[in-house]
Chain A
């Protein structure tokens, strides 16, 4: 990509159509491009009809788990006896992922409209847009777009003249990866430490302020107005073979590629083509070594797996990894996989909220053992120890941050064992100082 946005010919441009187009940021610019038509349509329907449309479209959550969006909305109580809430997850902190930032920077009204539609469908009076504190640019753009939407009456006590109340506020976060986890986010919105909560109760039963709540990712919500305008059948038809994964997806590509950036493709697109054709491949003179296709929390793919991986939920699972958030991290042959796995583990150790022993201790010990190996003081049995630790860190904690640390460690050792062993047997120079 690049600005003004010139999409690659293999891209399917839906969400990113106006990336780089500054005029699209204003209310008038947005309505001129067809904005707020979908909200108007929706406000004339019943909330459950909207949910049915989104269900029929096949849209699945773009925040990481891929849960069907319409189904999630349908879990909200139909009989309204309490306030309902929508939380828009704009915490975007998963290493490798930088797509929600572009949606907010360039098309803030697409997100506001998507939130308003979802909010109406789940019968919520209030949406909190939870934006990570470091996103100072997107925070400014979103705030002025919200102010404008209020001024124009698209939001407020009588949204678009419908008589419905739709209020929307930004909640600025303050630095904590874990707050992207939905229950941690709810605590953070309530003014608490961002510790994940034990589920059940699920958010649709007792979420933020103990009330029925739905949490959706920015990209998920931004897709909704398009589905309303062009119909669920159109969205479902954006498919390259696997009917369970449809629509377009923004992939953020970074690391060792010539043209990093966000690329929007139809689900089912080949990962190899994304890296080679769109991103220009790895830097010249280098060869591809590995790839993490779905943000740092998913297992690493080796070269062969990368070249044959299909980018949709099932295609990634078939290769033993996950589509996750769509943050594609590319490694060429200059990358030291042992160091990189340690660096990822360090991220999780830093971000663990500390509630669960397996996670708090497991992430810290993983880093220490890996640092020992990088200092040339590792032993062969350390690899088994790391694998055992990872095993104990998986599926045993309140949230999956612990599993996320284990994923790169397990896959890293499995696929690049020779690199680990080289440090252990001394055929590779230590790159870290020994611990004192």
Chain B
């Protein structure tokens, strides 16, 4: 994962227009922060210090305030992640239904080896998350923005292939 030193601004052109539209929904600029951070992550894949500074600037906030918010919410990445970010639920209901086996199969087939690590080919990062709100469809797995239900260890190889 290489980190570019040149930072490309996010809030220009159509993205700036989208943000301007979102700003009309709230009485304060600050309230658009979560949406703005989603746009940054969509553009860059993660939220760097430079991105926090840009976001702070467009919303009249301080970079440290923005960092405080970014670090509070678990879905914002503070570091680059694999092309496909994999989130597996292991909370009690899913644990009862065998989530641990799904985690092991994912770690093996993606080549990540351990939780939180990115696979050597840069394609995957696998993490365990708390309840995804789909406990009756154990085990739910998120592959980036795709939400996949009823994953079992034997379905993992095909799933990984699809995203490779």
Contacts and interface: CB of A to CB of B under 8 A. Distances in A.
Partners in one complex: yes
Interface of A: 83, 92-98, 100-101, 126, 132-137, 167, 169, 171-177, 188-194, 209, 252-256, 260-262, 296, 327, 329, 331, 335, 340, 343-344, 347, 350-351
Contact of A83 (B27, B33, B91, B142): B27
B132 interface: yes
Contacts, number: 140
Given A98-B133, A188-B34, A252-B136, A175 B142 contact: no
8 contacts: A92-B133, A96-B131, A96-B135, A134-B132, A209-B26, A256-B97, A261-B136, A296-B92
A171 B91 CA distance: 25
Contacts of A174: 34, 37-38, 73-76
Interface of B: 25-28, 30-35, 37-38, 59, 68-69, 72-76, 87, 91-93, 95-97, 129-138, 142, 145-147
Contacts of A96: 92-93, 131, 135
A55 to B, nearest CB: 30
Contact of A95 (B28, B59, B130): B130
Given A95-B130, A177-B130, A344-B92, A327 B34 contact: no
A331 B31 contact: no
A199 to B, nearest CB: 21
Contacts of A340: 92, 95-96
B146 A97 contact: no
Contacts of B132: 134
Contact of B95 (A132, A177, A209, A343): A343
B93 A95 contact: yes
A134 B69 contact: no
B133 A176 contact: no
A106 B97 CA distance: 25
Contact of B28 (A136, A175, A209): A209
B69 A191 contact: yes
A176 B130 contact: no
